[in-house]
Amino acid sequence: MTARATPASAVGLVVIGLICQELGASLAVLLFPEVGPLGMVMLRLVFSAVILLLIARPNLRGHGRTGWVAVLQLGLALAVMNSTFYLALERLPLGVTVTIEVLGPLVLSIIASRRASAWLWAGLAFAGVVALGGGGWDRLDLLGVAFALAAAVCWAFYILASAKVGAAFPRLDGLALAMLAGALLSLPLGIADAGAALLRLDLVALGAAVALLSSTIPYALELIALRRLPAAAFSILMALAPATAALAGFVLLGQHLSVLELVGIGLVIAASIGAVRAGGRRAREVAEPVG
């Protein structure tokens, strides 16, 4: 029996993925002193690749050049996006880092959408992320900002590449192969950054937990969601990331929320709801059943 995908179910998948991702990011921050940001990226991608390969058991045959190019593009996006994000996270608060990073999907949403309302929701979400970072802009490290902006560009590229992989490969096959490519790319710098810490089983186990929370679960859910939502609606929905990051930072890292930051959370949530509702009709028209 074939079930018709709905925008509402896709929204739920994205929200769950965001929560897991920010919980994993908070745990990763606690591990930076031991394994370093690039070592953490390597552990995250390696364990994610192993888990996904065991689950998906991808078939290497029957895929054209376009599909393999998409896999390599997604793998590169995963490696660079995670590396620049963690390098920024080493220098900036979690909420501020994600606030800057989410500008990539917001810009993509304006470019991808053909609806005039996208400008309204993108503007509201942009105001929200600015307000959300209001309590931390005075502490910004310029190199950290540069890394966060690079992560923003990579996030937009990741969305486009993930959509291509989802269309070219069944189930999670493409994501598993892309994660493997990203893991291989992260090995040299990751080993150099982590050093002897890789010999400690407790740190390696925590790295596996970060991988599950930050990569395996959210990327798999987002790949499925991209088959159900148009790129514009999905991209603005990513504006929820600063809210979940700020809440995770408050609960796990002791980063308190100011009134301005709470206002920012409200704005990005309102923008996300508005964007999804506006894109709902188009999503129902283009949604395909998920096998």
Please give the residue range of the domain that contains residue 271.
7-285
pTM of the predicted protein model: 0.79
Residue 291 located in a structural domain: no
Q: What is the DSSP string of 161-220?
A: HHHHHHHHSSTTHHHHHHHHHHHHHHHHHHHHHHGGGGG-HHHHHHHHHHHIIIIIHHHH
Residue 110 located in a structural domain: yes
Residue 258 located in a structural domain: yes
Please tell me the total count of domains within the chain. 1
Residue 290 located in a structural domain: no
pLDDT at residue 2 greater than cutoff 50: no
Q: How far are the Cα atoms of 58, 106, 112, 132 from residue 62, in angstroms, in the given order?
A: 11, 35, 30, 47
Tell me the three state secondary structure of residue 93: coil
Q: H/E element holding 281?
A: helix 259-286
- Tens-digit pLDDT profile for residues 42-88: 999 999 899 888 888 887 776 677 878 889 999 999 999 999 999 99
Weakest mean pLDDT among 88-92, 112-116, 279-283: 279-283
pLDDT at residue 250 greater than cutoff 50: yes
Residue 2 located in a structural domain: no
